Amino acid sequence: MPELVVTALLAPSRLSLKLLRAFMWSLVFSAALVAAAVYGCIALTHVLCRPRRGCCGRRRSAPPACLSDPSLGDHGFLNLESSGLRLHYVSAGRGNGPLMLFLHGFPENWFSWRFQLREFQSRFHVVAVDLRGYGPSDAPGDVDYYKTDLLLADIKDVILGLGYSKCVLVAHDWGALLAWNFSIYYPSLVERMVVVGGAPMSVYQDYSMRHPGQFFRSNYMFLFQLPWLPEKLLSMSDFQILKTTLAHRKTGIPRLTPNELEAFLYHFSQPGGLTGPINYYRNLFRNFPLEPQELATPTLLLWGEKDIYFELGLVEAIGSRFVPGRLEAHILPGAGHWIPQSHPQEMHQYMWAFLQDLLD
């Protein structure tokens, strides 16, 4: 068929897609402005209630001692082959078994896996990375450096750079979103997957269209589409919004000590420390609409019954995309979003049972 005819036949569908994307972006930025007004009021209230803290975040001069706890492992840096970037990681148990690679979420870092690093280093080589833009890892400034395909290449380079051909991939929140995509595009590098509190983006997209309440739970995503303002609002009153997110009495991480809270805030308080992490969100809607994708990697999915960011219905939606028999899902009663830190014992029990045959 002549190329001119093919182009003419495809023109209506291309126009429809462009119109759909334009409509989507108009909705996204409308929601972003509303979210900015809401979070602006919240940040201003924090400033007025704690005037001594001022409108800016205090830069921490030294990291808290818990970030250097030797029981968690040795610190190192890995130069990535694809990008040339350098990622920071903490490693323990090399030579004890298969690679278990941990991917953190926002607003966290490698330290969010402290319980799992201690638990599994006796039978696995456990490695928790600081993803690009986080902590001591390199943090390119431009938004385009945080596209999903580049982040997936980072994970691939970490696995191969550590000398392995496959791994057990354990992920939470933003790390979970990356892990789902990684299992689709690099299936040979993932032997098993443990996902906590995070859905594939295509599942999230389709579910949210049918359940608008999910958009309200994730309202911060819209704020993060804007330039510079999210960084300013999150840092006001010495990062009070982040402090509330992590340490709230009902919805935060239970029993989080002041030192442990500082382990997350330290790197965010450095110049530009929030821009890299927020750039992940600024790329979220670039590929809308997403096509449904089949999931086939054997996966343990753990979900908090009281997760305030994700509805329980997402668990069933995720299961509907799986090859039968490849997903084991559990909803933890009373748990919120921060299961690796709030319910480590329950998480470990499920993980040992799920991974037992790899160790026999």
The residues annotated with a catalytic role in the active site are 173, 281, 337
How far is 12 from 20, CA to CA, in rounded Å?
Answer: 12
Cis peptide before 333 (omega within 30 of 0): no
Structure tokens at 125: 């080589």
Quick one: CA dihedral 222, 23, 312, 188, positive or negative?
A: negative
Hey, how many other C-beta atoms are within 10 angstroms of the C-beta on 104?
A: 26
The DSSP call for residue 167 is: E
Which one, of 247, 117, 172, lies nearest residue 180 by Cα?
A: 172
How far is 105 from 198, CA to CA, in rounded Å?
Answer: 9
Strand 125-129 and strand 86-92: the pairing is: antiparallel
How far is 318 from 303, CA to CA, in rounded Å?
Answer: 11
Q: Where are the alpha helices (DSSP H) in the chain?
A: 3-49, 114-120, 148-161, 174-185, 201-210, 213-217, 220-223, 229-247, 258-268, 275-282, 313-319, 339-342, 344-359
Structure tokens at 179: 């892990």
Structure tokens at 105: 């979420």
Which one, of 288, 290, 236, 243, lies nearest residue 265 by Cα?
A: 243
Rg (CA), the chain: 21
The crossing angle, in degrees rounded to 10, of helices 229-247 and 275-282 is 100
How far is 296 from 319, CA to CA, in rounded Å?
Answer: 11
